[in-house]
Structure 1
């Protein structure tokens, strides 16, 4: 399966459904709540104009998705999601491979992502995918770290 890039004019409702389903496990576990709770199709379309939106496979019910945004010194990988029924098939690894390809195409030698402090299972997954923790940050109004930043050098 080859990832497919979507744009703001594509049907993004299935991608939003995948994101909502995948991120639903965070409800009640993270503080502050995910920005995804405020995202609709219009907001996802706006994101797809500012970042590259990729899905896998390219059909009406994507099994995985992610957003990629080139920054000055790295490629930011956001909103990585894999459908619950497809977990364990290596799809996250395939999407990270696509992120690596895109980073190199942009002349960037590092991929970064963030996950919430509470989501230790995500920390383990990203470590298995070759990422290392490089920092922690706090959302506005919090006096403790709320997010962990991971990086993978290429």
Structure 2
């Protein structure tokens, strides 16, 4: 299985459902609440139009991520793997695809953010080759609320 790039015409209800279910565990743990609360299937159609929305389908989405090219890096947002699919290397597969997209776009790094409270995410991203590079606060907060992680994108060896 390989991730496929979704278009605004694809089933965004299924993407919204995957993300809502996958992110539900953090509801009572993070402050401020996740931006996912404000997102709808229409929001994801717009994400597919303006950014790159990728999903792994089997045949329904079992994983997804949003990739956004930014100066100097590819930002990876809303990475989710369905609960019943975890532990099978799907996150690694999605990240390998994000690496390939970054290389294709000439970007040297992947960057993502997770919430300060989600220490299990910090450990998982560290195991996946990311390093903490910053802590930031959401508007109105006087303490860090997010942790930024960065991973260098492996560049192909030059041809002899």
- TM-score band, normalised by shorter chain: over 0.9
Structure 2 distance, partners of 1:14, 1:65, is 10
Q: After superposition, where does 1:63-78 map in structure 2 within 5 Å?
A: 63-78=62-77
Q: After superposition, where does 1:35-50 map in structure 2 within 5 Å?
A: 35-50=35-50
Match of 2:129 in 1: 130
Match of 2:83 in 1: 84
Structure 2 distance, partners of 1:49, 1:151, is 25
Q: Contact 1:138 / 1:147 at 8 angstroms: preserved in 2?
A: yes
Match of 1:20 in 2: 20
Structure 1 distance, partners of 2:67, 2:126, is 19
Task: Give the Å deviation of 1:58.
Answer: 5.5
How many residue pairs get matched? 153
Structure 1 distance, partners of 2:37, 2:101, is 28
Structure 1 distance, partners of 2:108, 2:58, is 27
**1:86-131 C-alpha deviation (Å, 9 max, x unpaired):** 0000100000000000000000010000000000011011011100
- Structure 2: 5+ residue stretches without partners: 154-160
Structure 2 distance, partners of 1:105, 1:122, is 27
- RMSD over equivalenced CA pairs, Å: 0.8
Flag the structure with larger Rg. Answer: 2
Task: Give the Å deviation of 1:46.
Answer: 1.0
Q: Does 1:7 align with 2:26?
A: no
Q: Does 1:99 align with 2:120?
A: no
Runs of 4+ in structure 1 deviating by more than 3 angstroms, as ranges, are: none
Q: Helix, strand or coil for the counterpart of 2:2?
A: coil
Task: Give the Å deviation of 1:57.
Answer: 2.5
**1:52-82 C-alpha deviation (Å, 9 max, x unpaired):** 01111252x2111000000011000000000
Q: Helix, strand or coil for the counterpart of 1:63?
A: strand
Q: Helix, strand or coil for the counterpart of 2:61?
A: coil
